[in-house]
């Protein structure tokens, strides 16, 4: 999820030079860390199934020989002689038939078990990767988190981890089918090497014709699919978040057109890829017919074999060859699908291997509570792109006071709040709380003593009760309702059919702006903080809602320190002190009369 990966689709991790085999194995080991035993168990079950199938097929020729030529000796020195030596003297077709059925019954049971193990293994990997990446994302510094494209982040976390996990199981299944193919080829070779050589020549010519070009296209398709999938998710996520603007500015046509074009390109790419991946399977019939014709020609015209022996050998070769070709075509087709999923695998590997700076929220002393003033001392702050917001910023917020911070948009008012909560770090200067640098305290304990209310109330798709309890998950129902009363939320909550159990919808869409904001205040109140920060909390509300929220702020100011960031005088008229941030990031004290002019 770094900028280099998410901004360019698959990113450098998917486009650099092909990895060597040791590098690929090292990547797989990293991605399966902690799940190696599950992978080994899956491989063991797959190999056991392959062994059972090979054993069952090895019995076919002796069985056909004993049925068609009871008095004959079969193919001397071949698989028939080998199997007969393993059986007790006088064993008839009944024992061979039972052995055949038993071997395939075991193979069937093992394949069913392998299917379940394979799916569980993939989903366990996906679960592990997604949680790791999500934890890394939410624990990263705030500046890095907000720099990510939302739709791409969601696509990478949710969908690409699933595709990558499936690719790992596909690789394991690919190895297994490859082993089965080798085992069946050896079985045919042990039975009759001349016929096997003829089959191999025909199969090699037909399969080689599509192998290289199809693999190259699969790699190209995988990179294109990843780019398009990220683009589609980005358009949808962005449009969902800005649907009001889309409606107001009649921008739906442009958004739909952009989404439709990405979907059309994705459809075309998927269609061509599915046609190519189907080609190996459809070659099976042609290969089987070629093998039958070739084997008949060799046995009748060159080897001059007896009819019974021809029928038994031909039946055996057709059966085993059909299975062999099925596995070979599976290997080729699966190789294409693996190649198509490699960009996702590389992307997830890059996200897992990449070092992300993490917020160390538990490092430092436990914040004892606000016992003194908050002081900004010669603070400067600039964003990562070099844009300076604050410079020579000095501000004192006295303990127990209500301080109003005003200024034009973009001068850094909200940045002050972010610095106080440790979301950003000053470029220079320092912030002191209780007379000591704020960085001495752990972020977790510091934030626990702050009640923050933003301009846009950020609610979860949960009940009103659960949204308030986000502020303090251990709060009782009585404490939740008490906080709601202070925030003037209880009065409207009790009019709802579900009361405090009412679901608010995605981002609180079922509530009005004023109702959402009052719930956000209740969430801050229930923390019982020492410092409240209201960041333009009433700037976009109607007069009635603004009055209620202003009353809540005034009541909270009686028991805690309050910092109000606003530009509307009605929201700050009860403040004890007023400060204006000027262009250039400096601050000066002012008064209500000056602000009114």
CB 230 within 8 A of CB 18: no
Q: Which pLDDT score, from 0 to 100, does residue 9 have?
A: 39
Residues 457 and 537: their CA atoms lie apart, in Å, by 8
Count CA atoms closer than 13 A to 514's CA, side-chain side. Answer: 17
Q: Which pLDDT score, from 0 to 100, does residue 457 have?
A: 81
CB 213 within 8 A of CB 338: no
Residue 579's SS3 state is strand
Bridging pattern class, strands 450-453 and 402-406:
unpaired
- Could you tell me the two tokens for 63? 């069985």
Q: Which pLDDT score, from 0 to 100, does residue 10 have?
A: 39
Burial class of residue 591, CB neighbours in 10 A (0-12, 13-18, 19+)? exposed
Residue 454: C-alpha distances to residues 106, 447, 518, 523 (Å): 63, 15, 11, 12
- Could you tell me the two tokens for 423? 């979301």
pLDDT tens-place string over residues 339-360: 777 788 888 888 887 777 777 8
Residues 304 and 153: their CA atoms lie apart, in Å, by 68
- Could you tell me the two tokens for 533? 């920060």
- Prediction pTM value: 0.68
> Of the candidates 510, 522, 511, 576, which has an alpha carbon nearest to the alpha carbon of residue 549?
522
The DSSP code sequence of 484-512 is HHHTT-HHHHTTSTTGGG-B--GGGTTS-
Residues 192 and 321: their CA atoms lie apart, in Å, by 13
Residue 547: C-alpha distances to residues 226, 567, 568 (Å): 50, 15, 12
Q: Which pLDDT score, from 0 to 100, does residue 531 have?
A: 92
Could you identify the residue written with the tokens 């990558």? 164
Within 298-306, where are the H helices?
none
Q: Which pLDDT score, from 0 to 100, does residue 5 have?
A: 35
Residues 258 and 249: their CA atoms lie apart, in Å, by 16
- Could you tell me the two tokens for 231? 């683009």
Residue 260: C-alpha distances to residues 235, 247, 266 (Å): 10, 18, 10
Q: Which domains does the chain have, with CATH numbers?
A: 21-353 (1.20.1560.10), 374-596 (3.40.50.300)
> Of the candidates 88, 157, 211, 119, which has an alpha carbon nearest to the alpha carbon of residue 98?
88
Residues 581 and 589: their CA atoms lie apart, in Å, by 9
Residues 523 and 519: their CA atoms lie apart, in Å, by 6
Within 192-248, where are the H helices?
193-241, 243-248
Indicate the DSSP class of residue 503.
B
Q: For the chain, which ranges sit under pLDDT 50?
A: 1-16, 73-77
pLDDT tens-place string over residues 228-241: 877 887 777 777 76
Indicate the DSSP class of residue 20.
P
Residue 176 CB partners (closer than 8 Å, separation 6+): 43, 46, 47, 50
Residues 123 and 477: their CA atoms lie apart, in Å, by 37
Other Cβ atoms within 10 Å of 498 Cβ, number: 11
Cα dihedral: 230, 236, 241, 244 (round 10): 150
> Of the candidates 99, 544, 563, 189, which has an alpha carbon nearest to the alpha carbon of residue 373?
563
- Going across the sheet that includes 561-565, the strands are 450-453, 531-535, 561-565, 402-406, 577-581, 587-590
Q: What is the distance between the terminal CA atoms of the chain, rounded to a whole angstrom?
A: 49
Residue 6 CB partners (closer than 8 Å, separation 6+): 148, 149, 152, 153, 156, 230
Residues 596 and 360: their CA atoms lie apart, in Å, by 44
Q: Which pLDDT score, from 0 to 100, does residue 214 have?
A: 59
Bridging pattern class, strands 577-581 and 402-406:
parallel
Residues 453 and 459: their CA atoms lie apart, in Å, by 11
Greatest extent of the chain over all pairs of C-alpha atoms, in Å: 119
Could you identify the residue written with the tokens 């991605």? 31
Q: Which pLDDT score, from 0 to 100, does residue 500 have?
A: 92
């Amino acid at each position: 999820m770094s900028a280099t990966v998410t901004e360019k689709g698959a990113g450098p991790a998917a486009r650099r030079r092909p990895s060597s085999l040791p590098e690929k194995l090292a990547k797989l080991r990293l991605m399966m860390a902690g799940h190696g035993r599950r992978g080994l168990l899956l491989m063991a079950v797959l190999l056991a199934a392959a062994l059972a199938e090979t054993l069952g097929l090895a019995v076919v020729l002796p069985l056909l020989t004993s049925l068609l030529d009871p008095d004959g000796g079969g193919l001397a020195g071949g698989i028939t002689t080998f199997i007969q030596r393993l059986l007790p003297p006088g064993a008839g077709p009944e024992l061979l038939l039972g052995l055949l059925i038993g071997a395939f019954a075991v193979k069937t049971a093992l394949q069913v078990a392998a299917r379940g193990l394979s799916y569980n293994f993939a989903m366990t990997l996906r679960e592990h990767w997604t949680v790791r990446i999500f934890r890394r994302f939410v624990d990263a510094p705030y500046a890095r988190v907000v720099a990510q494209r939302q739709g791409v982040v969601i696509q990478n976390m949710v969908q690409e981890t699933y595709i990558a996990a499936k690719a790992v199981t596909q690789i394991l299944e690919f190895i297994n089918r490859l082993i089965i193919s080798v085992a069946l080829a050896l079985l045919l070779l042990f039975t009759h090497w001349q016929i096997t050589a003829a089959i191999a020549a025909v199969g090699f010519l037909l399969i080689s014709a599509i192998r290289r070009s199809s693999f190259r296209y699969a790699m190209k398709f995988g990179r294109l699919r990843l780019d398009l999938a990220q683009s589609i998710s980005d358009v949808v996520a962005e449009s969902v978040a800005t649907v009001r603007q889309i409606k107001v500015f009649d921008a739906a046509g442009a958004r739909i057109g952009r989404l439709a074009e990405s979907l059309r390109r994705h459809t075309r790419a998927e269609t061509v890829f599915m046609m190519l991946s189907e080609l190996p399977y459809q070659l099976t019939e042609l290969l089987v017919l070629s093998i039958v014709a070739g084997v008949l020609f060799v046995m009748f015209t060159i080897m001059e074999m007896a009819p019974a022996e021809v029928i038994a050998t031909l039946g055996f070769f057709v059966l085993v060859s059909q299975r062999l070709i099925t596995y070979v075509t599976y290997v080729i087709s699966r190789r294409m699908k693996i190649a198509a999923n490699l960009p996702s695998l590389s992307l997830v590997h890059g996200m897992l291997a990449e070092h992300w700076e993490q917020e160390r929220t538990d490092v430092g002393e436990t914040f004892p509570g606000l016992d003194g003033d908050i002081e900004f001392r010669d603070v400067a702050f600039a964003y990562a792109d070099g844009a300076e917001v604050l410079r020579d910023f000095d501000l004192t917020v006295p303990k127990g006071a209500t301080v109003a911070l005003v200024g034009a948009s973009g001068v850094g008012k909200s940045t002050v709040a972010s610095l106080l909560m440790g979301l950003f770090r000053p470029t220079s200067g320092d912030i002191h709380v209780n007379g000591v640098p704020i960085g001495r305290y752990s972020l977790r304990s510091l934030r626990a003593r702050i009640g923050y209310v933003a301009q846009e109330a950020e609610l979860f798709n949960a009940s009103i009760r659960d949204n308030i309890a986000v502020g303090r998950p251990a709060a009782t129902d009585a404490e939740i309702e008490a906080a709601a009363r202070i925030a003037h939320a209880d009065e409207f909550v009790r009019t709802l059919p579900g009361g405090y159990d009412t679901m608010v919808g995605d981002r609180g869409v079922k509530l009005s702006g004023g109702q959402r904001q009052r719930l956000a205040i209740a969430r801050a109140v229930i923390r019982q903080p020492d410092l409240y920060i209201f960041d333009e909390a009433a700037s976009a509300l109607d007069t009635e809602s603004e009055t209620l929220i202003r009353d809540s702020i005034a009541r909270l100011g009686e028991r805690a320190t309050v910092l109000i960031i606003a530009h509307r005088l009605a929201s700050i008229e009860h403040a004890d002190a007023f400060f204006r941030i000027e262009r250039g990031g400096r601050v000066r004290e002012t008064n209500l009369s000056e602000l009114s002019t």
